Chain A
Amino acid sequence: MLTYVARRLAYSIPVLLIASFLLFAFVRVTFDPTARLRASRDPSAVARERTRLGLDKPIVVQYKDWLVKFVQGDWGESSRSSERVYPMITRALWNTFQLIFWGVLISGLIAIGIGIFSAVRQYSVADYAFTSASFIGLAMPPFWFGLIAIQFLAAGPKNWFDLSQPPLFFVGLHSVAGSPILDYPRHLVLPVLTLTVQIIASWSRYERASMLDAINADYVRAARAKGLSPRQVIFKHAFRNALIPLVTVMALDIGLLFGGLIVTEKIFSIPGMGQLFFDSLLQGDANVLVAWTVVTAGFVILFNLVADIGYGALDPRIRVA
């Protein structure tokens, strides 16, 4: 097991390094931090700024300098607010993390429930209903669902969530007025619902498929033949094995969510990673964008690693291959 983990880890680190180099170079050639000095009356201003920022050096040297500082926690400062990038990212990350946490918790539990039910009652009316619902869920643009949810649940006569007081970035996921205990869920219900609809469809399909595989496997027939109760067969024998593929898929999807909630956060004004990216992109804030892309890519790689290790831990056959 240890060599397996070490091997996966040894593979992840170069991927992260190369990915971060490409992202760094990509953002560097896209955004010019000296753009605002173009109109300066001093013709040497741009050249001086370029030297100060080290932009006159080769890209590899720039990357090396950036990497050394990045590892030490010095992520530069934002060009629009002169704030340090590191606290900006961690603050946004915390808000996004809360959204992901609740979304994944709720959709994971419901998806597993639906998956088991649909597999055990295959081709029943409920199974068909869940299947149709998941087809619609997979086809629905997530941002459209978010807007529809606001339209029907948070606007007009049925203003259940009163989103007119937006969450404030320096307070977190609740606004200044109102009690924080009620304010917190009030601002999270709809975004979490949108996120849930986005991911629950594919997860429940996965769980259904792997549960069906498990139910039709020989060891389940053996367990049934030994005379175990249906409940024991389903939950102790089939369910545990059916969970393995789902755990892998969940880990991969969670990794993608850290950079994948741009639209959801924008619709609900959640001051998270998506919002930060959107604002930084519109204003060409290169330092934030570099840090943002590298951090989100890091999360994808980290959760790929988690999926690999989890798979290896749950299924001993994987470790050998």
Chain B
Amino acid sequence: MSTLPNRELLDVPTEENQPLPPRREFVDEDTVIRSQWRLFWRRFFRHRMAVISTIVLILIIFVCFNASWLAPYPKNHQDLALGATGPSMQHWFGTDDLGRDQLTEMMYAGQISLAIGLAVAVISTVLGTLFGALAGYFSEWTDQFLMRLTDLFLVVPAIAILAIAIKKFGNSAATIVLILAGLGWMYIARVVRSQILSIKEKEFVEAARASGASHKRIVVRHLIPNTIGPILVNATLAIAAAIITESTLSFLGFGVQPPTTSWGRMLSDAEGYVGTSKAHLLYFPGLALLIVVLCVNFIGDGLRDAFDPQSVR
């Protein structure tokens, strides 16, 4: 008998245990026609964290914006006799000094934080796409001018300029959105510009031009739809950045003012309780910010993979 151990024998490829090469036929009966979007969703759903994040984020948005009937207590309902208590069955996230239920407060504050984040992302994405597309399509001096302008905007320390601007223009939620968006579009503009610069040399754009399409039509119908991937990915990043920036400004006292609250504003109010027994006021708003931004980042990651045809997922 053989002196070789059995295991090695099994590993030797033979005619029998070699896998058959896949048969290649022109049209397989099982072939499913997949559209671009079908492929997109397929790749997106393969990204497990992105799917979980989408569900969590939708849940948080739903809970916050239905606070009027979901919240356990009315808004601003005070229970002065109770005062600040830690988390309990009656008050899941505890209460603050005035006995206000923190879960309720966080739902209403979340409306502001989320709405500001989304609004800033939408406005800055639209502005950035517009300026980026213009800069990339009409080269030479339009490009130079817009890119030098973005250079200038990127040079100034953001939080400082935002704080000064809010000091000047007021701190209503709408003003804050406009100021944040007005200073946040440059990054998307750069991304869109670099995409357009490479796409506009492609044959299909030349074909469109040859068949007499106007500049507007080429930009709107041919160039921007082909950069939708990077635009959406950067829009999610813009949401995350806007939420963090708003909370930072609110924390410094330049954000929304009471009775309007946001998660950053709640943290600002809780700052004085650091190191005391009322520190629970600090945990939940920060955790909410962390979870929302984490979800948005994961969704951005999933979108990036889904828009990439070479993605292996």
Contacts and interface: CB of A to CB of B under 8 A. Distances in A.
A292 B258 CA distance: 30
Contacts of B158: 260
B298 interface: yes
A30 B290 contact: no
Contacts of A260: 157-159
B293 A143 contact: no
Contact of A26 (B164, B247, B274): B164
Most buried by A among B151, B156, B168, B248: B156
A147 B271 contact: yes
A154 B290 CA distance: 22
Interface in A282-301: 289, 292-293, 296-297, 300-301
A155 B297 CA distance: 32
A19 B153 CA distance: 8
B121 to A, nearest CB: 16
Given A135-B294, A143-B267, A144-B286, A293 B274 contact: no
B152 A18 contact: yes
Nearest to A143: B251
A292 to B, nearest CB: 7
B157 A151 contact: no
Contact of B275 (A27, A155, A259, A297): A155
B263 to A, nearest CB: 9
B289 A262 contact: no
B152 A15 contact: yes
B148 to A, nearest CB: 8
Contacts of A293: 156-157, 160-161, 164
Given A141-B247, A148-B282, A263 B160 contact: no
B279 to A, nearest CB: 5
Q: What does DSSP make chain A's interface, helix, strand, loop or mixed?
A: helix
A259 B160 contact: yes
Interface residues of B, number: 39
A15 B286 contact: no
B240 A143 contact: no
Contacts of B165: 30
B174 interface: no
Interface in B256-289: 264, 267, 270-271, 274-276, 279, 282-283, 286, 289
Counting chain B CB atoms within 10 Å of each CB, which of A138, A144, A281 scores highest? Answer: A144
B79 to A, nearest CB: 25
A106 interface: no
B297 A147 contact: no
Contact of A147 (B154, B160, B163, B267): B267
A120 B167 CA distance: 49
Contacts of A278: 252
A289 B275 CA distance: 33
B294 to A, nearest CB: 4
A178 interface: no
A23 interface: yes
Interface in A132-160: 135-136, 138-144, 147-148, 150-151, 154-156
B53 to A, nearest CB: 11
Given A143-B267, A259-B160, A277-B163, 17 more contacts: A15-B151, A30-B165, A139-B290, A140-B290, A141-B247, A141-B251, A143-B251, A144-B286, A147-B267, A147-B271, A147-B286, A148-B286, A281-B167, A293-B156, A293-B160, A296-B160, A297-B156
24 contacts: A15-B151, A23-B156, A26-B161, A27-B164, A30-B167, A138-B293, A138-B297, A141-B247, A143-B248, A144-B289, A147-B267, A148-B282, A150-B274, A256-B157, A258-B157, A259-B157, A262-B159, A262-B163, A262-B252, A263-B252, A293-B156, A293-B164, A300-B154, A304-B155
Q: Which 5 A-B pairs have the closest CB atoms?
A: A155-B275, A259-B157, A144-B286, A139-B293, A139-B294
